[in-house]
Amino acid sequence: MNLTVLGCYGPYTPAGGACSGYLLEQEGKYILLDCGNGVLSKLQYHINIDRLEAVFISHLHSDHISDLFIMRYALQVDMELGKRNKPLKLYAPDEPASEFERLPYKDVYAVELLHEGKVVDMASLSFSFMKTVHPIDCYAIKVELGAGKTFLFSGDTAYFSELIPFAWNTSLFLCEANYLQEDLVKGAPPNHLSAYQAGEIALQAGVQRLLLTHLPPNRESSMYLAEARMKFPEATLAEEGKVYTI
């Protein structure tokens, strides 16, 4: 399986960048995780939109979903032109209800509820979900490839110990790191991980590779990398446009 980072910033982008969006490719099938602002544009450098099989949304904050409301117009055009003959599968939490109710549009999306305990098998991959600690319902997304290989996207979350067994022995852990430890010491809201905490989870879970994402554009990313490497020396930064093989 290949992972292409389309966007890795949050909660807003630098010039030319994109918020949360990650493209999975398995055996010629393409699946999108999150669709934040800027992701639709980045996606089209890699595939035509009509090739998407499904979209999984970790949670309904704008920096993770805003381009869904633009992509729907492109999907509508593709259906009118015969490039797509069925709605795009869209898996998302149903809270806040006001945001969830905005997702359906002219039958271009087939919306399904994402929740703990749900398992989705698609393109020889198995998707499962764990609720994280965030102001609204948010889910970490695990993808099992077979042969003991797994990929895990943390979604957005504060630190909680239950994430460690969920991440156990993950081949590639794509983990948010919106804070530095100094932010938590200064009283930042407990709704995101620090880079240090991301490294700690990776260490305790015995993951093979750690990619830091959801990085603020107003700071040097090297600060986050240095902090994560205090706990997990092999940590790296997610890079927009880069392809990672699992």
- What is the length of the chain? 246
Mean pLDDT within 232-239: 97
C-alpha closest to that of 70 among 44, 35, 98: 35
Angle formed by the axes of helices 221-228 and 195-205, to 10°? 40
pLDDT at site 151: 98
pLDDT tens per residue, range 24-50? 999 999 999 999 999 999 999 999 999
pLDDT at site 61: 98
CA dihedral 118, 122, 126, 132 (to 10 degrees): -50
Confidence of residue 189 (pLDDT cuts 50, 70, 90): very high
Beta bridge partners of 7: 21
pLDDT at site 186: 97
- Domains in the chain (CATH in brackets) are 2-245 (3.60.15.10)
Mean pLDDT within 193-204: 98
pLDDT at site 52: 98
Strand 120-122 to 125-131 pairing:
antiparallel
Structure tokens at 163: 């994430």
pLDDT at site 128: 98
pLDDT at site 215: 98
